[in-house]
Amino acid sequence: MIAIGIHGGCGTLPVEMMGAAQWDEARAHLADSLRAGWAVLARGGSALDAVEAAVVVMEDSPYFNAGFSAAMNAAGEHELDASIMDGADLRFGGVCAARRIRNPVRAARALLENGPSVLLTGPAADDYAAVCGIELVENRHFTTERQVQALASLKARAAAGTIAMAGEAEKHGTVGAVALDAEGNLAAATSTGGFNNKPVGRVGDSPIAGAGTYARNGVCAVSGTGQGEVFIRRVAAYDVAARMMYAGQSLEQATDAVVHESLSSHAIGAGMVAIDARGCVHTPFNTIGMYRGWVDTEGNLAVASHEDIIRVGRLQA
């Protein structure tokens, strides 16, 4: 039994802000991400390999705030965070404030495998990736016109004192994947550029075990999206697992409670993709939309950006 779920962030634009062709392409990139992860699982590969493969596709897409098209900090530069976790033995790897790693999730995976550290930051993360043979690029590689405009918009709002009126898509976004493999192992991975106009050196929840990413065999795997400071304070991803382990809640009950009660109580936009030990995927969010998708245990692939769910087809196991 195998299954996979992804999110591309709860910072989804209103429908009218992009043309139909762009929405179609963004959803196609979600489907490509799912196919990449499913292909790993279908040939007997690990959940770890599957979530890494799925996240790499989204890191290379212009539609999501991770890798290429990552958000820009207050200095107009990119600082990237990512992590990956193995539910079988709780191994974890994370990088934060990286500036040159084309696919930060790959560096996080290398750290998970090689240890003994679980988190590297800034130049040390870039240097580690280089030693591991992971592709480095110039910081400007990540810059897209969409993020340049978003940064300018937020700076203008900050100057005018209207920052509270900014939409989720102007502020932030994240990508993540969760998977169950044929051996019953769970894994999760998350990658982000943080939020636009963030302070230089800021680190969010995405590279923090238990905050933005968590996986534990027999329970669940979780990847979050939203204001990272609150996810850290709430230990949000682990809270889902704790509710399931100690309170007997189902995946749906636990994730809904965390997103719609705990996180929403802070008046932030938030969302999650999570999977349980039976391969059930749940994707709650409290914003106008969240890029998301899944392939269920029967191979049925679906993607969505707002309320409507698009059934793409059935993949072979």
CATH of the domain at 247: 3.60.20.30
CB 96 within 8 A of CB 191: no
Q: How many domains does the chain have?
A: 1
pLDDT tens per residue, range 45-83: 999 999 999 999 999 999 999 999 999 999 999 999 999
User: Band of the pLDDT at 179, cuts 50, 70, 90?
Assistant: very high
Local structure of 3: helix, strand or coil: strand
Is 174 a known active-site residue?
Answer: yes
Beta-ladder partners of 176: 7, 190
pLDDT tens per residue, range 74-118: 999 999 999 999 999 999 999 999 999 999 999 999 999 998 999
**CA nearest 282: which of 234, 250, 235?**
250
CB 19 within 8 A of CB 56: no
| Residues of the domain holding 179 | 3-314
> Which residue is catalytic, options 12, 143, 174, 192?
174
pTM: 0.95
**26-35, 157-166, 249-258, range with the lowest pLDDT:** 157-166
Query: What pLDDT is attached to residue 3?
Result: 98
Would you tell me the crossing angle of helices 47-59 and 20-42 to the nearest 10 degrees? 160
